[in-house]
Amino acid sequence: MTSSPLLTLRVARKAFGGTVVLQDIGFALHERQTVALLGPSGCGKSTLLRIAAGLDRDFDGAVERAPALAGRPGSVAIVFQEPRLMPWLTVAENVGFLDGKRADRARIARLLEEVGLADWGEALPKQLSGGMAQRVAIARGLYTRPRVLLLDEPFSAVDAFTRMKLQDLALEVSARHEIALLVVTHDIDEALYLSDRILVMGARPGRIHDTLDVAVPHPRERTDMRLAASRVDVLKTLHDVRAF
Amino acid sequence: MTSGVPGKRPGSKRPGKEGAASARPSGPAQGAATPASPAQPGRARLRARLRGLLLPAAVVATLEGVVRAGIVPSHLMPAPSELLLTFEYLAHGPLWKHIGASALRVACGFALGTLLALLVGALVGLSRRAEDFLEPTFQALRAIPSLAWVPLLLMWLGIDETSKITLIAIGAFFPVYMNLVAGIRNVDRKLVEVGDMYGFSAARRAGRILLPAARPYLFTGLRNGLSMSWLCVVAAELLAATQGIGYLLTDGREVSRPDLVLAAIITLALLGKTSDTLLKALEKRALRWRDTFAGREA
């Protein structure tokens, strides 16, 4: 973690109209690190992710990207809460969406295999289940060879079992492709299972109340008692910030 | 505080690589029935077709009876069987020439109107500035019934083909234009953001996301525009023409032959229906990806 960060975020103030949604936030994302933004609905964590992605530029502060990320489209990829596939394109065309007709077919096939959808390249999005569509979205994110993958509550719309499989998939691909993950979530277990560092956020205005390092090496077991112990800390913090 | 310890969970081992859908077929069912468009088996489809024929058949039978019984004078309303004879006569004579003339005018006018609508519609749909400049004018023009242009067109362009095709183009323009603009403006912002994420230029965003996504609206516009084209061709031909279905209509009236008029009307119905069916087939092909409500039985 001594290397210079891939992504550094400083948000002094972000407001929608008169309402301040984010205040005095700063954190960095390092290479091969997984950071979770954990907090209740309305704490501005998705807004923070959109700022990190460069989709929202209307705020006081700055997003600094490492030179390795600057300038190349897709070096920071995002997987949204919904799959957001183009319904008129096949699964394979969606994965290679950045390049359109000139997409690298071999790479698309490899990625589809990686996310467990090897036979589905010619299918249309309407033929997919929610979990499968989200896998396609992950493959699309990976297609651009990102160094940073931003995940905006990516697994909140699928059932608990699919969610666990997708979490494993996210960890797998981030390890294999050496991608740093920034995950927005309101699921404490998800944050604990995925991340090296949890930023606990409170609402109105959204700010980071606590930073918690999860010192359990990967691969982790969901039953690990160390995670259970950390869970207590997280719950205490969330209680302190009146998240519930 | 300790109640939520995840230790009780059934252990899940990494890596889990099964597909998200546990019951998964050997591959995607290409072109197979999807929930949105159930492929009707042959018999059910036939029955659906027959249902559609029921009403016209009843009307024809009633007319035949009513005219034969003398309840309606046959010089005003020829019996369907008589109409058939008229059709036979026309089919051996001038009918094809009339159909050809009208169809050619519709094809030219519709193509011209559609082309212009695509250009202006895309511009207004994609650019808010273009919208500011153009939209009020086009809204005002749209409020003018297209037939109101007829006198001007006749004065400016004469009574030959140019004025007719222009009228049809005006008629076809607005439905296509309106629907294309609405289609572009109704594209899900979430899809547009995917392009933003890739740093798409405005042109790329339009070509890769906005225009493809607007196609369902566009096809609605095209079909409306086509029916407007048929309306306008008849109007144009009613006024000044020596051939075309509209001319057949006037001719029938001038020689007091309701059978000619009815034959022309039926021909128009068939032409309109045929061209719409073609467009609909094209639409179905182009919008195969759509996941929408297809109507229910009963």
pLDDT tens for B148-183 read 998 899 899 988 899 999 999 999 999 999 999 999
Please report, as a single letter, which amino acid is at residue B215: R
pLDDT of residue B15: 38
Q: Which of B3, B9, B14 to mutate to test the interface with A (most CBs of A within 10 A)?
A: B14
| Domain membership flag for residue B179 | yes
Chain A to chain B Cβ contacts (< 8 Å): 120
Tell me the two tokens of residue A148.
Answer: 């940073």
Q: Which residue has the higher pLDDT, A219 or B8?
A: A219
8 Å CB contact between A206 and A44: yes
Residues in Cβ contact with B274 at an 8 Å cutoff, skipping those fewer than 6 apart: none
For chain A, what is the HEC assignment? CCCCCCEEEEEEEEEECCEEEEEEEEEEECCCCEEEEECCCCCCHHHHHHHHHCCCCCCEEEEEECCCCCCCCCCEEEECCCCCCCCCCCHHHHHCHHHHHHCCHHHHHHHHHHCCCHHHCCCCHHHCCHHHHHHHHHHHHHHCCCCEEEEECCCCCCCHHHHHHHHHHHHHHHHHHCCEEEEEECCHHHHHHHCCEEEEEECCCEEEEEEEECCCCCCCCCCCHHHHHHHHHHHHHHHHCCCC
Chain B from 242 to 261: CB within 8 A of any A CB: none
| Domain membership flag for residue B148 | yes
Q: Which of B289, B290, B291, B292 to mutate to test the interface with A (most CBs of A within 10 A)?
A: B289
pLDDT of residue B25: 40
pLDDT tens for B120-129 read 999 999 999 9
Minimal CA separation from A152 to chain B, in Å: 13
* Mean predicted confidence (pLDDT) in B50-71: 91
State how far the Cα of A44 lies from the Cα of A16, in Å rounded to an integer.
Answer: 11
| Domain membership flag for residue B156 | yes
Minimal CA separation from A164 to chain B, in Å: 8
| Domain membership flag for residue B290 | no
* Mean predicted confidence (pLDDT) in A53-62: 86
B27 CB neighbours in chain A (<8 A) are: 119-120
Confidence of residue B24 (pLDDT cuts 50, 70, 90): very low
pLDDT tens for A101-154 read 898 889 999 999 988 888 998 899 999 988 899 999 999 999 988 889 999 988
Judged by DSSP in three states, B3 sits in coil
pLDDT tens for A180-192 read 999 999 888 888 8
pLDDT of residue B281: 94
B19 CB neighbours in chain A (<8 A) are: 116-117, 132
Q: Could you say which of A74, A97, A228 has the minimum Cβ distance to residue B5?
A: A228
Tell whether the model's pLDDT for residue A194 goes beyond 70.
Answer: yes
Looking up residue B204, the CATH number of its domain turns out to be 1.10.3720.10
pLDDT tens for A206-240 read 888 788 888 888 888 888 888 888 888 888 888 88
8 Å CB contact between B67 and A159: no
Quote the mean pLDDT of chain B: 85
B12 CB neighbours in chain A (<8 A) are: 164, 168, 222
Least trusted range by pLDDT, from A33-42, B125-134, B255-264: A33-42
B213 CB neighbours in chain A (<8 A) are: 86, 88
* Mean predicted confidence (pLDDT) in B137-148: 92
For B37, the closest chain A residue by CA position comes to A126
Share of chain B above pLDDT 90, in %: 59
Element (H, E) at B90: helix B80-92
pLDDT tens for B187-206 read 999 999 999 888 899 999 99
| Domain membership flag for residue B215 | yes
8 Å CB contact between A52 and A44: no
State how far the Cα of A112 lies from the Cα of A138, in Å rounded to an integer.
Answer: 9
Minimal CA separation from A34 to chain B, in Å: 17
State how far the Cα of A212 lies from the Cα of A192, in Å rounded to an integer.
Answer: 10
| Domain membership flag for residue B17 | no
> How distant, in Å, are the alpha carbons of A105, B61, B66, B73, B268 from that of B81?
63, 10, 12, 15, 19
Q: How many CB atoms within 10 Å of residue B216?
A: 18
For B208, the closest chain A residue by CA position comes to A100
Number of structural domains found in chain B: 1
pLDDT of residue B298: 62
Count each helix (H run) and each strand (E run) in chain B, helices first: 12, 0
pLDDT tens for A198-211 read 988 877 778 887 88
| Domain membership flag for residue B145 | yes
* Mean predicted confidence (pLDDT) in B55-84: 89
Tell me the two tokens of residue B64.
Answer: 């035949």
pLDDT of residue B26: 42
pLDDT of residue B221: 96
A231 CB neighbours in chain B (<8 A) are: 4-6
Say if residue B25 is preceded by a cis peptide, omega within 30 of 0. Answer: no
8 Å CB contact between B217 and B183: yes
pLDDT of residue B61: 93
Alpha-helix residue ranges (DSSP H) falling in B93-240: 95-126, 128-143, 150-157, 161-185, 189-197, 202-205, 211-213, 215-239
Range of the domain at B208: 103-241
Tokens 């994965």 sit on residue: A95
State how far the Cα of A181 lies from the Cα of A149, in Å rounded to an integer.
Answer: 5
Least trusted range by pLDDT, from B8-12, B62-66, B79-83: B8-12
> How distant, in Å, are the alpha carbons of A159, B109, B167, B193 from that of B162?
63, 9, 9, 45
CB contact under 8 A, B212 and A86: yes
For B291, the closest chain A residue by CA position comes to A126
| Domain membership flag for residue B260 | no
Q: Could you say which of A100, A135, A223 has the minimum Cβ distance to residue B208?
A: A100
Tell whether the model's pLDDT for residue A91 goes beyond 90.
Answer: yes
Q: Could you say which of A55, A84, A225 has the minimum Cβ distance to residue B191?
A: A84
